Structures are given as structure tokens and as C-alpha cells.
Chains A and B, each alone.
Chain A
Amino acid sequence: EPEVTQTPSHQVTQMGQEVILRCVPISNHLYFYWYRQILGQKVEFLVSFYNNEISEKSEIFDDQFSVERPDGSNFTLKIRSTKLEDSAMYFCASNVGSSYNEQFFGPGTRLTVL
């Protein structure tokens, strides 16, 4: 069964450093998403991406964040200058069609900012 994959599973970085989190969505999916979950809290929407551009983003997704689909398979989230409060689990998700269809989530990348 196809699945969303994410690398790395755990990333440790120093405050102020740039990080890139990588995701490979399910191959026939058209919509891609990033969410984050601070430890013990709810899952929060960051951004949705369709047709090579951002469809919607949340208030969390400020100028420090960017997304890219550099090739036909990868979908990346970049944080330019990490802060302590960026420490969280970051989930990538994808689906066939926007609001109606269920989103399939990757296993997550745990980001720890020291």
C-alpha cells in the first residue's frame, strides 16, 4: 500500500540554523500539506500546496518558512532560522483532492532546536 514517507525521522539543530524537512507524498496525489504538533498538543495546520504553489497558509507559516516541490516526488519544508519554539513533530500529508478526501500522513519528523 502506498504511503507518505518523511526524512529524517529526527533532526536536532542549533537555534538560528536552517533546516529542511523532506517528504515524499503518495505518487498520484495532487495536494500536499505540512502540519506540526508541539509535544502533547494538538495538530496544527501550516500550509497547503497545489499545482506548484501555496494554496493556503496559517499564521504560524511566516517568512521563516517556505515549501518547495523541487522535483516530481519530493515536497520540502524549510525553516530558515530556527527558534526554540519551532521544536515539534512535523507531519507531511497528501491527498487526491483537497477538502473532501482524507489526508494520508507521513510518520513525522521530530525537530529539536537547542
Chain B
Amino acid sequence: AQKVTQAQTEISVVEKEDVTLDCVYETRDTTYYLFWYKQPPSGELVFLIRRNSFDEQNEISGRYSWNFQKSTSSFNFTITASQVVDSAVYFCALSEADSWGKLQFGAGTQVVVTP
């Protein structure tokens, strides 16, 4: 069963537009962790943020912000004032507390930012 759903396959924006990436997860555990990773065209996986299930406080880091809502099982990611360097595939991932660190990734959302 799909544990992490990223319904948006690709989002295209023009530079300076905001873009929001959706992530919906499914788990029966009360303790779990959510992550976002960025995969630029060069292929590496770059860690962006981690959230635990007990911390619903939203977070902002520069142009990036995250909205975690347990009531809707969502952990959405917004890039404000997008830049061409933001073009990448973004993956949302879930780790359940008793899973020995296994990351379960969503299918990813390709973000294309054009000048």
C-alpha cells in the first residue's frame, strides 16, 4: 500500500512564482518522522527537512516553508519566489518509529522553473 502520496507529477512555474508541493502520508503509528529531499538534475539526494509526529509547528527556512497538519495527514512544502536553481525532483518520505530507519518515499514531484 502506498504510504506516501505525491499527487503532483510535475509543476512548471516561471521564476519568482511560488510553488507548493503536496504530500499526504498514511501510517498507523503514533510516532513517525517526515522528510523532504531534493534531487537536482545531477542525481544526488539532498536532505531538506525533518519533522516528527509530535511537532506540528510549521517551519520556514529562507525561501522554503513547510506545513505539517496531522488532521489531514499532510506535510506540504512551499518554495517562495522560485529560482531556476530550484528545478529538481522533490521527494517526501516517511519513517515509522519501529521501522529501523526505513524511508518510504513518495513518487516525487518534478519542479521546473523557467526564467
A binds B: yes
Q: Are B100 and A43 in contact (CB under 8 A)?
A: no
Chain A nearest CB from B91 CB (Å) reads 6
The distance in angstroms between the C-alpha atoms of A24 and B44, with both chains bound, is 16
Q: Are A45 and B100 in contact (CB under 8 A)?
A: no
Chain B contact residue count (CB 8 A cutoff): 27
A interface footprint on B71-115 (CB within 8 Å = 1, 0 otherwise): 000000000000000000001010111111111111110000000
A interface footprint on B26-40 (CB within 8 Å = 1, 0 otherwise): 000000110101000
Q: Are A98 and B100 in contact (CB under 8 A)?
A: yes
Point out the residue from A33, A42, A55, A56 that lies within 8 Å of B105, measured CB to CB: A42
The distance in angstroms between the C-alpha atoms of A98 and B50, with both chains bound, is 13
**Residues A27-73 near B (CB distance < 8 A):** 31, 33, 35, 41-45, 48, 50, 55-56, 58
Q: Does A18 contact B (CB under 8 A)?
A: no
Q: Are B99 and A44 in contact (CB under 8 A)?
A: no
Contacts of A95 in B (CB 8 A): 101
Q: Are B103 and A103 in contact (CB under 8 A)?
A: yes
Point out the residue from A91, A99, A104 that lies within 8 Å of B47, measured CB to CB: A104
The distance in angstroms between the C-alpha atoms of A50 and B101, with both chains bound, is 10
Contacts of A104 in B (CB 8 A): 47
Please give 11 more A-B residue pairs, beta carbons under 8 A apart, in addition to A95-B101, A100-B95, A102-B47: A41-B107, A42-B107, A45-B103, A55-B100, A55-B101, A93-B45, A99-B33, A99-B95, A99-B98, A102-B50, A105-B44
6 contacts between A and B (CB under 8 A): A48-B102, A93-B103, A99-B100, A100-B52, A106-B44, A108-B44
